[in-house]
């Protein structure tokens, strides 16, 4: 499978459409049809994900926020004051200020591939922390990133919340962790959110909510294909499904065909037999050992681990 939850590399509109078309045509030609999860996150998809974080069934955002709020003293004890916080992905409106308030850093460096997101979140943070130097960097953090010289001498804390690492298959996740180590340097720390393995019912409900918002998030990908790639996929023939894959310890999102169906995308014909699916996202879940294994494989030694009060989600501090 080619599924990965990463953001797109090309920035020009034409290039984006070309990359989207290539990924979709390649993914639909596979035995198990699969489209990389990054294409879920256009403007509509990003808004739908924001809506998902508010759902009663979707616990990760609330659980991680609870840890960030409740453990500010622990962070302050374990993380050098005056460090540079390097956030992989632009700061979300809630989580980043909680961390910044807890540890009182000397600088904040948000990394994002989207200059628009970067500018918006840097501006928002600057309003809340008027005395904090902010150095946004527009870059693809899947590779090594050159940090601004202003923060060269400061101790580094990487911040990667949201269990975004869970969107990646192990090989890609380990590659990212190793790139983060290159970017931040030996001796740096990393505070990373990793969602936990739990009851299948709880996991599947988190990705198949009663209000149907996650289903809309999934369908949005097909709407996008129909709109941007001259597709004629009958949305009504597809059912959203969240499926726990126990061998891979991940929740998979699929769009399952209710009936045999034929469709065309960008001039190419495809078909799905009744019951076959298009795999659209992975969300890997971890336990203490598998999260440690993942971090160690990427060059990071776990040092501390915090859970929310219900034991649903983990935030791990590791050292390079």
For binding to ligand AVJ (CB under 6 A), which residues are involved? 5, 49, 52, 60, 162-164, 166-167, 207, 214, 217, 281, 283
Instruction: For ligand AVJ, give the closer residue by CB, 23 or 281.
Output: 281
Phi, psi of 231 (to 5 degrees): -90, 160
228: three-class secondary structure by DSSP: helix
Instruction: For ligand AVJ, give the closer residue by CB, 168 or 320.
Output: 168
Q: Which residue is nearest to ligand AVJ (CB)?
A: 283
Q: How far apart are CA 243 and CA 134, in angstroms?
A: 41
- Maximum Cα interatomic distance, the chain, rounded to a whole number of Å: 61
Instruction: For ligand AVJ, give the closer residue by CB, 90 or 164.
Output: 164
What DSSP state is assigned to residue 21? H
| Residue 308 and residue 64 in contact, taking contact as beta carbons nearer than 8 Å | yes
Q: How far apart are the first and last CA of the chain?
A: 30
Instruction: For ligand AVJ, give the closer residue by CB, 71 or 214.
Output: 214
| Residue 150 and residue 133 in contact, taking contact as beta carbons nearer than 8 Å | yes
| CB 17 to ligand AVJ: min, Å | 23
Radius of gyration in angstroms for the set of CA atoms belonging to the chain, rounded to a whole number: 20
| CB 107 to ligand AVJ: min, Å | 26
| CB 199 to ligand AVJ: min, Å | 16
Instruction: For ligand AVJ, give the closer residue by CB, 84 or 194.
Output: 194
| CB 282 to ligand AVJ: min, Å | 8
171: three-class secondary structure by DSSP: helix
| CB 169 to ligand AVJ: min, Å | 13
| CB 224 to ligand AVJ: min, Å | 15
CB-count exposure of residue 318 (10 Å: 0-12, 13-18, 19+): buried
- CB atoms closer than 10 angstroms to residue 245: 12
Instruction: For ligand AVJ, give the closer residue by CB, 23 or 79.
Output: 23
């Amino acid at each position: 499978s080619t599924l990965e939850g990463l953001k797109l590399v090309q920035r020009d509109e034409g290039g984006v459409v070309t990359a989207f078309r290539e990924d979709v045509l390649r993914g639909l030609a596979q035995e198990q049809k699969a489209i990389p999860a990054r294409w879920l996150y256009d403007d509509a998809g990003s808004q739908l994900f924001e809506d998902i974080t508010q759902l009663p069934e979707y616990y990760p955002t609330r659980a991680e926020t609870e840890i960030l709020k409740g453990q500010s003293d622990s962070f302050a004890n374990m993380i050098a004051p005056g460090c540079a916080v390097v956030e992989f992905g632009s700061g979300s409106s809630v989580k980043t200020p909680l961390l910044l308030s807890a540890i009182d850093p000397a600088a904040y460096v948000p990394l994002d591939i989207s200059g628009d997101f970067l500018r918006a979140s840097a501006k928002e943070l600057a309003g809340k922390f008027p005395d904090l130097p902010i150095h946004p960097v527009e870059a693809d953090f899947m590779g090594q990133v050159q940090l601004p010289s202003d923060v060269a001498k400061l101790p580094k804390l990487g911040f990667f919340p949201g269990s975004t690492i869970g969107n990646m298959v192990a090989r890609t996740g380990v590659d990212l962790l190793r790139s983060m180590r290159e970017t931040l340097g030996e001796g740096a720390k990393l505070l990373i959110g990793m969602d936990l393995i739990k009851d299948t019912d709880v996991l599947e409900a988190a990705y198949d909510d009663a209000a149907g918002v996650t289903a809309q998030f999934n369908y949005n990908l097909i709407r996008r294909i129909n709109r941007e790639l001259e597709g004629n996929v009958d949305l009504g023939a597809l059912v959203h499904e969240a499926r726990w894959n126990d061998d891979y310890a991940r929740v998979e999102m699929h769009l399952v065909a209710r009936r045999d169906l034929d469709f065309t995308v960008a001039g190419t014909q495809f078909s799905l037999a009744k019951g076959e699916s298009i795999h659209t996202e992975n969300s890997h879940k971890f336990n203490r050992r598998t999260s440690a294994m993942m971090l160690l494989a990427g060059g990071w030694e776990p040092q501390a681990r915090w859970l929310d009060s219900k034991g649903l989600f983990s935030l791990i501090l590791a050292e390079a």
